Structure 1
Amino acid sequence: MKNSLLNITFNTTDALGLAQWWASAFDGRIVDENDGWFVFVSLGEGRPGLAFQKVDAPAGGNRLHLDFGVDDMAAAVAGLVSAGATVVGERSMPGFTWTTLADPEGNEFCVAEHG
């Protein structure tokens, strides 16, 4: 049996709203809304989907972590911040730099330049 990643799922009190934010921020598109209780976002062919599951109250803190590769980190971070993300911190280690951000509900993710 072949295993493959289908979706990365967020628990959220506003599944449709958060799905719209992620779709807009990363040039994705909502492909299924399910009346706002389980919303799917496609980020393009060959990429895992993002899913947003409506819950009364998310349990605990950030339950997942996403890393995105971009061509221009400064421009990507600026665009994400202007869309409603917040910068959590700038990080680096020898030969690699990235920025940790949070979406409008506080879910953290990282952005780094390809290569």
Structure 2
Amino acid sequence: MDSLEITINAADGERAAEFWCAALDYRIRYRRAPYLVLGPAEGTGPQLVVQTVGTGGGPGGVHLDLRVDRREETVARLAARGAQVQHEITEAGRTWTVMLDPEGNEFCVCPARTG
């Protein structure tokens, strides 16, 4: 596989793209209606494609896990950008936060993997 793209359906593609650029330190690589293609600001990583589907299409069923060193700080930063905390899960001594982005797509903020 040469690359990985993750697609998110959004009623407001610009709003979703702005959120995910901030959440992942990505930038908009290019626009081609109805798509906005996002990629890492630096380095390599999967592309994220935001597909504007309008209000009739509704949000998609995409799920991302964000692995971070400071989970609580990340949750607060993303909430300030329009995400909503749904609930926390603790399992096997590790806690993560289930959130919704501004379009209602679920994602998790998880502690970084060790080893």
Gaps of 5+ in 1: none
Shift of 1:24: 1.6
Structure 2 residue 40 is matched with structure 1 residue 39: no
Q: CA RMSD in A?
A: 1.7
Task: Kindly provide the CA deviation profile for residues 51-98 of structure 1, in whole angstroms up to 9, marking residues without a partner as x.
Answer: 111113225x64121001011001000101111100011001013210
SS at match of 1:75: helix
For 1:55, the equivalent position in structure 2 comes to 53
For 1:98, the equivalent position in structure 2 comes to 96
Query: How many angstroms apart in 2 are the aligned matches of 1:17 and 1:83?
Result: 10
SS at match of 2:66: strand
In structure 1, what residue type is equivalent to 2:81?
A
Using structure 1 for the length normalisation, give the TM-score.
0.86
Query: How many angstroms apart in 1 are the aligned matches of 2:2 and 2:85?
Result: 31
For 1:80, the equivalent position in structure 2 comes to 78
CA contact 1:16–1:33 (8 Å) conserved in 2? no
Gaps of 5+ in 2: none
For 1:18, the equivalent position in structure 2 comes to 16
Return the structure number with greater relative CO, CA threshold 8 A, min gap 6: 2
Using structure 2 for the length normalisation, give the TM-score.
0.86
Judging changes above 3 Å, is the alpha-carbon distance between structure 1 residues 62 and 91 closer, same or farther for their aligned structure 2 residues? farther
SS at match of 1:33: strand
Matched pairs, number: 111
In structure 2, what residue type is equivalent to 1:73?
R
